[in-house]
Chains A and B, each alone.
Chain A
Amino acid sequence: MLLEIKELSVSFESIYGKSHVLDHVSINIKKGEIIGVVGESGSGKSVTALAIIRLLHKNASIDSGEILYENENLLTKDEKEIQAIRGKKIGMVFQEPMTALNPTMKIGKQLANVIRKHREVSKKEAHELAIETLKDVKIKDAEKVSEKYPFQLSGGMRQRVVIALAMAAPPDLLIADEPTTALDVTVQNEILKLMKSLSEKKGTSILFITHDLAVVGNFCDRVYVMYQGKIVESGKTADVLHKPEHPYTRALIESLPEGKNPDEPLKVIDGEPFVLNSRPTGCVFIARCPLKTEQCSNVPPVRWRGTDHWAACWEVEENAGNPLARKEI
Chain B
Amino acid sequence: MLEIHSLVKRFDDIEAVKNVSFQVKKGETYGLVGESGSGKSTIGNMIIGLLQPTSGDILMEGKHLWDKSSYKRMKNGEIQIVFQDPQSSLDPRMTIRSILLEPLRALPLKERREKGKKSNLGKLLRTVGMNESHLDRHPHEFSGGQRQRIAIARAIITDPVFIILDEPTSALDVSVQAQILNLLKKLQKERGLTYLFISHDMSVIQYMCDRVGVLYHGELVEENKTSKLFSSPQKDYTKKLLSSLPTLFEKEDQYA
A40-B250 Cα distance, complex, nearest whole Å: 22
Q: Which residue of A lies closest to B206 (CB)?
A: A257
Taking CB atoms, residues of chain B closer than 8 Å to A155 are 36
Q: Which residue of B lies closest to A261 (CB)?
A: B207
Distance (whole angstroms) from the CB of A43 to the closest CB of chain B: 9
User: Scoring B residues 156 to 177 as 1 if CB is less than 8 Å from chain A, else 0, what string do you get?
Assistant: 0000000000000000011101
Stretch at the interface among A80-88, A91-99, A159-167, A211-219: A211-219
Taking CB atoms, residues of chain A closer than 8 Å to B11 are none
Taking CB atoms, residues of chain A closer than 8 Å to B143 are 272
Taking CB atoms, residues of chain B closer than 8 Å to A266 are 178, 181-182, 207
Interface residue? A253 (CB, 8 A):
yes
Interface residue? A31 (CB, 8 A):
no
Distance (whole angstroms) from the CB of A188 to the closest CB of chain B: 7
Q: Which residue of B lies closest to A241 (CB)?
A: B248
User: Scoring A residues 141 to 179 as 1 if CB is less than 8 Å from chain B, else 0, what string do you get?
Assistant: 000000000000001000000000000000000000000
B175:A185 contact, CB within 8 angstroms: no
Q: How many A-B residue pairs lie within 8 Å, measured between CB atoms?
A: 115
B250:A238 contact, CB within 8 angstroms: yes
A143-B256 Cα distance, complex, nearest whole Å: 27
B241:A252 contact, CB within 8 angstroms: no
* Chain B binding surface SS class: helix
Interface residue? A262 (CB, 8 A):
yes
**In the complex, how many residues of chain B place their beta carbon closer than 8 angstroms to a beta carbon of chain A?**
38
Distance (whole angstroms) from the CB of B224 to the closest CB of chain A: 15
A267-B182 Cα distance, complex, nearest whole Å: 9
Taking CB atoms, residues of chain B closer than 8 Å to A256 are 174, 178, 203, 248
Interface residue? A77 (CB, 8 A):
no
Taking CB atoms, residues of chain A closer than 8 Å to B245 are 185, 214
Q: Which of A189, A193, A217, A258 has the most CB atoms of chain B within a 10 A radius of its CB?
A: A258
Interface residue? A277 (CB, 8 A):
no
User: Scoring B residues 56 to 99 as 1 if CB is less than 8 Å from chain A, else 0, what string do you get?
Assistant: 00000000000000000000000000000000000000000000
Interface residue? B23 (CB, 8 A):
no
Interface residue? B252 (CB, 8 A):
yes
Taking CB atoms, residues of chain A closer than 8 Å to B255 are 189, 192-193, 196, 218-219
Q: Which residue of A lies closest to B227 (CB)?
A: A262
A215-B143 Cα distance, complex, nearest whole Å: 25
Interface size class of A (residues with CB under 8 A): 35 or more
Interface residue? A269 (CB, 8 A):
yes
A257:B204 contact, CB within 8 angstroms: yes
Interface residue? B185 (CB, 8 A):
yes
A215-B175 Cα distance, complex, nearest whole Å: 16
Interface residue? A251 (CB, 8 A):
yes
Taking CB atoms, residues of chain A closer than 8 Å to B119 are none
A252:B185 contact, CB within 8 angstroms: no
B247:A265 contact, CB within 8 angstroms: no
Distance (whole angstroms) from the CB of A189 to the closest CB of chain B: 4
B175:A188 contact, CB within 8 angstroms: no
Taking CB atoms, residues of chain A closer than 8 Å to B201 are 185
User: Scoring B residues 121 to 133 as 1 if CB is less than 8 Å from chain A, else 0, what string do you get?
Assistant: 0000000000000
Taking CB atoms, residues of chain A closer than 8 Å to B243 are 189
Can you list 24 A-B pairs with a CB-CB distance of less than 8 A?
A40-B173, A155-B36, A184-B36, A185-B200, A185-B245, A188-B246, A189-B255, A212-B246, A213-B248, A214-B247, A217-B254, A219-B246, A219-B255, A252-B174, A252-B175, A255-B175, A256-B203, A257-B177, A257-B208, A258-B206, A262-B208, A266-B181, A268-B178, A272-B145
- A sample of 19 more A-B contacts (CB under 8 A), given A219-B246, A258-B247, A268-B182, is A40-B174, A41-B173, A185-B244, A186-B35, A186-B241, A189-B246, A214-B245, A217-B246, A218-B252, A219-B254, A255-B178, A256-B203, A257-B181, A257-B207, A258-B206, A259-B203, A259-B249, A262-B206, A266-B182
Closest 4 CB pairs of A and B: A257-B207, A255-B178, A189-B244, A184-B35
